Chains A and B, each alone.
Chain A
Amino acid sequence: MKRNTLLANIGLATLLLFSASAAFAQISLGTAQNFGVLGGSTVTNTGATTVNGNVGVSPGSAVTGFPPGVVVGGAIHSNDAVAMQAQNDLTTAYNNIASTPCTVDLTGQDLGGLTLTPGVYCYSSTAQLTGTLTLNALGNANALFLFKIGSALTTASGSSVVVINNGGNSCNKAYWQVGSSATIGTGSSFAGDILALSSITFTTGSNSSGRALARNGAVTLDTNHVNTCGVLACPIITVNPATLPNGTVGTPYNQSVSASGGTAPYAFSVSSGALPTSLILNPATGAITGTPTVPGTFTFTITATDATGCSGSRQYTMTIANAGCSAIIVNPTTLPPGATLQPYAQTITASGGTAPYTFAVIGGALPPGLSLNSTTGLIAGAPQQPGIFNVTIGATDSAGCQGSRAYTIAILAGQPAGGPTLNIAGLAILMVLLVAAALFVMNRLSI
């Protein structure tokens, strides 16, 4: 009986220990999740916008611009019971996020260039995104990123939010609770559900893989693609193959990428970076052809867009070697993790070519605070911020032949703490108690 009680107490304590974190992990939009766009006063569209899911407004009633805007997998709800309930649920979700404790305060820091792991990130006032914000889900399909922004959220033209290592779940992993209004800049690619107290504006050509939910103000659209997750979401579109073979200057190159998971036909495009000089991508077939003329390492992203407008992409790194080059091998294969403000030093080496070699960052970026010595290959410094950083280091030998290797460097928050199961005193106590327990049992059993 006592044993059962003890086990029950231990179980209860363990359950309580994890319940707080479970609360953080569960953000529900209620019926608002069925809306791609939900406004408080008006919803106004200009141009060929596509919204996956319902478009609604409440307590206002004006929804204009559909058509030319298109609602896919949903309907327009103009201050009806559905829209009113969605607004109620939106308020509940907004308040839930607002009451979640911050784990990292980013006030004053531009989101551009940051790589963040799941957590609750806060701004006491405005938040700005200029460039690319990378959300690394660390392979966890249930990873969650919460952004609590005290006032306005603004993204510069061409900015993007990219979710990587999503654990096979391409659905929204980010919620943006915005204390006033959100403005998504021209051509930006945004990810995550925006829950704004006032208005949300998508400027020309910006896209969002997440909902636009405004409590009191207007949602303004202009030739956008607003995609939502769940039953209404786009399917996961995969671009293959995972890697492309390298090429050689002067040798014709012919490889194709393909796409799957969506509705054919697909249109292929280079969405970031650039193909090696003189290679071209056929947008209809995905064939990459041509004869490379310039050696080097090229990093680019190919995006496939299916017949319904849903898209998927994959980043490639291709090395074009000089004719007659042998393979340059970059080592080590992995780099160890570092800790913030702690000295870090690792040396990259190269082999297979003609020394001396020069080293350079040719893709991604080193953790802030670390730098690469182009002559010695030494990566050294003291990392300034925690996170997971992807970087590709290239090596070039004296003949101009090149090789590269991609690394992931984990920077931990502070010096790792240790956690002995039992320290010396604990081990001594356990040893004495085991002997005492054995003698006790032997006495009781008359052994």
Chain B
Amino acid sequence: MARNDFQGSLDLLVLKTLAQRGRLHGYGIVQHIQRASEDLLQVEEGSLYPALHRMEQSKWISSEWALTETNRKAKYYKLTAVGRRQLTEAESSFEQLVRGVRAMLSYA
């Protein structure tokens, strides 16, 4: 069975965001997930930042400080090669979960 939990989903969302948007800071990730999920998903900062730092230490993402368009300093994250592989894995395992749950619900 696919391993899945909330943390796994948050990792998937963050990785996918970075895959879609390239370089992004924490605030940008929160905004992107909210917008892209049509306000269905709201990421809490209290969970996001520990997750970002953990993923950075696992070498899935890398970070650097840079200026935003509004000239504010922010820490930008982007995917690494390891992170890309991790994303593929997380996506397929999430697909499995969704399929499994759907099959379960539609079981008559």
**A, B co-complexed:** no
Chain A interfacial positions (CB closer than 8 Å to B) = none
